[in-house]
Amino acid sequence: MKRVIIVGSPRSNGRSAHLAEMLFEANIDECPEDELFLVPVSEIEVGPCIGCGACRKKSEVIFKGEDGAEASEMRHRCVFDDDMQTLYDVLDDADELIVVSPIYFSGAPAPMKCVLDRLQPYFWASREKDLDARLAEKRPATLHVLGEGGDPHGYDALVSEVRSATAVAGFRLERVLDWVGKIGQDGEITGEPTPVEGVLAPPRKPAEKPKLDLGANRSRQAQGKGHDKGRGGQSGHGQSGRGQSGRGGQSGHGQSGRRQPGKGKRRG
Ligand SMILES: Cc1cc2nc3c(=O)[nH]c(=O)nc-3n(C[C@H](O)[C@H](O)[C@H](O)COP(=O)(O)O)c2cc1C
């Protein structure tokens, strides 16, 4: 069994780090045979997704096969050469994902959001007809939520962000544990986490791409029937919806160059 613990705090010695270390140690005690990776976002270099759309296309990825020999395969990958490349490999191999993340204004802290957004190559992979078995499998994921509880707006955004991004990468968020207000400044546990119910409703069907009948609109304009009517008032014209906008985009991505190799902790 291979497990990955991603720690979403920009601080390397905060509550999340303490909790993740505790989970790491507990896992070693309980499942000494497991291979375990601890990946604190505070210790890796992962830049933001810029929506360039380059990951729509497959590129050659070199990896170690089961027998330890180098193999290569065409996969959807981000073109930025930073620690995310190592994290893709670790996630591809994982049987289970654990995310430990603080709440920042209801959502994920920026470095954690960078990691989540950089899972976009899996979105394109998940649309392939010959879907990779690993992505189809839906491996289990758990989210541990931390916060001070001073903000009254909850953390729905954090749950949704983690759930949505990890789903395309082949995970199913099965458990959310609420540690808000239950871990002290120095990492001491002051209470039991609460399992969160009701945040894991079945995903909605993706929005349909709106069909625009431009021909009909043009002929109306040609007949001089006023532009007021042409402004979204007729049979769904001018619908914005979620459609496909924002997916993919322009090329012209600037390479960042490799910075540091992944510094995640590994056992196994
Ligand atoms: C920018 C920012 C926004 C925050 N927003 C929230 C929030 O909405 N809800 C909450 O309970 N705590 C919030 N917090 C508190 C953090 O979640 C809390 O300090 C947590 O312990 C930070 O994680 P860490 O100790 O692992 O770094 C916020 C902290 C920061 C810096």
Q: Is the CB of 156 under 6 A from ligand 1?
A: no
Question: Hey, what's the torsion of the CAs at 200, 202, 204, 205, to 10 degrees?
Answer: 140
Q: Is the CB of 146 under 6 A from ligand 1?
A: yes
Nearest alpha carbon, ligand 1 atom 30: 104
In this structure, how many other beta carbons lie within 10 angstroms of the beta carbon of residue 260? 11
Mean pLDDT of 10-20: 98
The half-sphere exposure of 43 on its side-chain side, counting CA atoms within 13 A, is 13
7 and 38 Cβ atoms separated by less than 8 Å? yes
Q: Is the CB of 180 under 6 A from ligand 1?
A: yes
Q: Mutation test of ligand 1: which of 43, 144, 146 has the most ligand atoms closer than 8 Å to its C-beta?
A: 146
Give the phi and the psi of residue 145 in degrees, each rounded to 5: -105, 130
pLDDT in tens, 103-150: 999 999 999 999 999 999 999 999 988 888 878 889 999 999 999 999
What interhelical angle do 156-168 and 110-117 show, nearest 10? 30
Share of the chain above pLDDT 90, in %: 64
Average pLDDT, the chain: 83
pLDDT at 214 over 90: no
Answer CATH for 2-49+80-201+254-267 from 3.40.710.10, 2.60.40.10, 3.40.50.360, 3.20.20.10: 3.40.50.360
Which tokens hold the place of 33? 């045979």
**Separation between Cα atoms, residue 176 and residue 187, nearest integer Å:** 19
Nearest alpha carbon, ligand 1 atom 16: 147
pLDDT at residue 174 in the model: 95
Span from the CA of 105 to the centroid of ligand 1 (angstroms)? 7
pLDDT in tens, 27-60: 999 999 999 999 999 999 999 999 999 999 999 9
> pTM (2 decimals)?
0.80
pLDDT confidence band for 266 (50 / 70 / 90): low
Nearest atom in ligand 1 to 16's CA = 26
pLDDT confidence band for 197 (50 / 70 / 90): confident
Q: Is the CB of 266 under 6 A from ligand 1?
A: no
Q: Distance of CA 241 to CAs 188, 213, 238, 257, Å? A: 46, 15, 9, 37
pLDDT at 244 over 80: no
Give the phi and the psi of residue 5 in degrees, each rounded to 5: -110, 115
Nearest alpha carbon, ligand 1 atom 20: 147
Span from the CA of 46 to the centroid of ligand 1 (angstroms)? 21
Nearest atom in ligand 1 to 7's CA = 26
Which tokens hold the place of 1? 């069994």
pLDDT confidence band for 164 (50 / 70 / 90): very high
Nearest alpha carbon, ligand 1 atom 2: 104
Residue bearing tokens 């600037």: 254
Q: Is the CB of 147 under 6 A from ligand 1?
A: yes
Span from the CA of 104 to the centroid of ligand 1 (angstroms)? 5
pLDDT at 62 over 90: no
